[in-house]
Amino acid sequence: MKRIGIIGIGHGVFGRRSDATVQELAFEAFKLALDDAGIERKDLDASVIGSVPEYHKQRSLPGVVQEYLGLVPKPTWLTEVACASGSAAIRTAWMAIQSGFHNIVVIIGCQKMTELSTPEILGLMGRVGEVQWESIFGTTFPAYYAMFARKHMHEFGTTREQLVEVAIKNHFYGAKNPKALFQKEITMEKALESDEVALPFQIYDCCANADGAACVILASEERARDISKKPVWLDGLGCATASMSILRRPHMVGLPSAEAAASQAYEMAGVGPEDIKIAQVHDCFTIAEIMAYEDLGFCKKGEGEKFISERQSYLDGKTPVNVDGGLKAKGHPIGATGVSQTYEIAKQLRGEAGERQVPEADIGLTHNVGGIGQYCFVQILRRD
């Protein structure tokens, strides 16, 4: 297969963006990526939009984004697999270039979530679970992941404090990220005194809904080397699914889709977990990051809580994880998250992450989960 590189990246500010429509959020990231690549609109062959349409009043979102960005009449289309829509868009663009059909494709992950109330959002997210047998009983995202947490605590002795340590780390790094929704550190005491959500979760165990957009531009190897002096190569892609119902899965202490997607990505890139210098994982809840350590092979099953307690996922640890704040502190505009993760890894591999820079980072990984693990995309990026 041909190598495909990232030649441009852009990222808007995540938060409650009452100052911008979803089209304007998309433009904010798109303009930065275009400038970063040093190319013009005319150089783009197509665009792929990662977003979840139910959160927008506008139906057929790619059309209005395409028009606002001045890309008509070039082709565009939407990818949607819940919270993994951004990574699905990247994979789709990669396949379009790999096929030879296009040479340069722009990917925009964008979402405007705060126009809906929290109950409305919880209702929408709850229906990502199986409607016939589960969500009709009132299941919500926090409740689903709370079940994962309870099972992990039962099986491996994971403590409440170890869950909170994930939030403390991610808020520590979020405070250093000007793109993040929450740019403030938290303490163990503050987290443990916060309101209950779905036990064992409290407020600081849960990521926040947000508005925002991120953008990456992919190009074939020939075009990437011609355009960019610092391309980042997308060398490994994994994608897998799991049953809609968590009750039909082999266990509840991890995500089978993540394990399978990671295995595919490692094999394709010719690397293993020990080679990953920096990772972005889908920490929608604190337990999700701990399970990701294990599912991705950064530690053995049942040792994820030890991995965070020993600070192995900090900047100076074995495998730094979510040193941009992750979903937890950066915010989670669901269609934008996978593209945002790719943006951060590209920044790290280019040595442009400032005080959050991982020394000598040459191989990075993104882990983007859709729903409650029904979909998972793992992608491995590498610099020359």
Phi/psi region, residue 375 (left: phi>0; alpha: psi -120 to 50; beta: rest), is: beta
Q: What is the pLDDT of residue 119?
A: 82
Question: 0.95 exceeded by the pTM?
Answer: yes
The total number of structural domains that make up the chain: 1
The yes-or-no answer on residue 11 being catalytic is: no
Specify if 94 maps to a domain: yes
Catalytic position from the list 11, 83, 284, 367 = 83
Q: What is the pLDDT of residue 1?
A: 87
Diameter of the chain measured on Cα atoms: 57
Euclidean distance between CA atoms 259 and 254, whole angstroms: 8
Specify if 215 maps to a domain: yes
Q: What is the pLDDT of residue 195?
A: 97
Specify if 367 maps to a domain: no
Specify if 237 maps to a domain: no
CA proximity to 377, closest of 287, 278, 255: 255
Domain of 26 in residue numbering reads as: 4-116+209-227
Q: What is the pLDDT of residue 87?
A: 98
The runs of H, that is alpha helices, within 53-117 are 61-68, 85-98
φ, ψ for residue 39, nearest 5 deg: -125, 175
From the number of C-beta atoms within 10 Å of its C-beta (0-12, 13-18, 19+), residue 301 rates as middle
Specify if 188 maps to a domain: no
Q: What is the pLDDT of residue 259?
A: 98
pLDDT in tens, the chain (384 residues): 899 999 999 999 999 999 999 999 999 999 999 999 999 999 999 999 999 988 888 889 999 999 999 999 999 999 999 999 999 999 999 999 999 999 999 999 999 998 888 788 877 777 777 888 887 888 888 999 999 999 999 999 999 999 999 999 999 999 999 999 999 999 999 999 999 999 999 999 999 999 999 999 999 999 999 999 999 999 999 999 999 988 899 999 999 999 999 999 999 999 999 999 999 999 999 999 999 999 999 999 999 999 999 999 999 999 999 999 999 999 999 999 999 999 999 999 999 999 999 999 999 999 999 999 999 999 999 999
Q: What is the pLDDT of residue 137?
A: 82
Catalytic position from the list 102, 171, 332, 367 = 332
Q: What is the CATH number of the domain that holds 90?
A: 3.40.47.10
Identity of residue 225: R
Specify if 189 maps to a domain: no
Q: What is the pLDDT of residue 331?
A: 97
The yes-or-no answer on residue 206 being catalytic is: no
Q: What is the pLDDT of residue 32?
A: 98
